[in-house]
A and B are shown apart, each in its own frame.
Chain A
Amino acid sequence: GQQVMQIPQYQHVQEGEDFTTYCNSSTTLSNIQWYKQRPGGHPVFLIQLVKSGEVKKQKRLTFQFGEAKKNSSLHITATQTTDVGTYFCAGGNTDKLIFGTGTRLQVFP
């Protein structure tokens, strides 16, 4: 079945450093979504990418969808302590949304 993997599994950064998480699907996706889950919380929708090669920005966050629509990345510039949490990509294919393994981000002040 469809698998969605993310790397790295964990990332510890100093506040102000940049952070990137990568997402790879075993199958071509119709769309990719990104979610953030704070410790003890539930996933919160960040953004959806649909087009091949699409790039979207939200303040310090930059999201990219690969040309082959099988991979994606999330880049955070100048991390802040409020960025702490686990970032999940979720690949849309037919009617299922399959979540990736997640990247847990820890930011040290």
Chain B
Amino acid sequence: DAGVTQSPTHLIKTRGQQVTLRCSPKSGHDTVSWYQQALGQGPQFIFQYYEEEERQRGNFPDRFSGHQFPNYSSELNVNALLLGDSALYLCASSRGPYAPLHFGNGTRLTVT
């Protein structure tokens, strides 16, 4: 039974570029949440997807967008990358929007 899988594990991009991160939820889970974690900080909520719709959004600009597919997998897109976007991006899945989260190993994004 695979857990939450994220790809890629590491990514280096240049300021101004665009990036797409991918997430496959744990088997049986239908909800995906995305978090940004800067070094030494707690995870910051970006948004949550359920039934292919964005249900809740944190305090992130419109440069951050996402999508959920019919198979419950999800993508996080970030446009016009800034140096401050360098962080660990965590995907978490759950069985419904209110259930405990199961996290993937994350994608480490470095913007130079």
Contacts and interface: CB of A to CB of B under 8 A. Distances in A.
A33 B97 CA distance: 14
B100 interface: yes
B101 A96 contact: no
Given A1-B59, A96-B48, A102 B105 contact: no
Contacts, number: 50
B35 interface: yes
B101 A43 contact: yes
Interface size class of B (residues with CB under 8 A): 20 to 34
B16 to A, nearest CB: 29
B32 to A, nearest CB: 13
Interface of A is mostly: strand
A94 B50 CA distance: 14
Contacts of A95: 48, 55-56, 97-98
Nearest to B33: A97
Contacts of B55: 95
Interface of B: 33, 35, 41-45, 48, 55-56, 58-59, 90, 92, 97-98, 100-106
- List the 3 closest pairs (A to B, CB-CB), nearest first: A99-B42, A42-B103, A95-B56
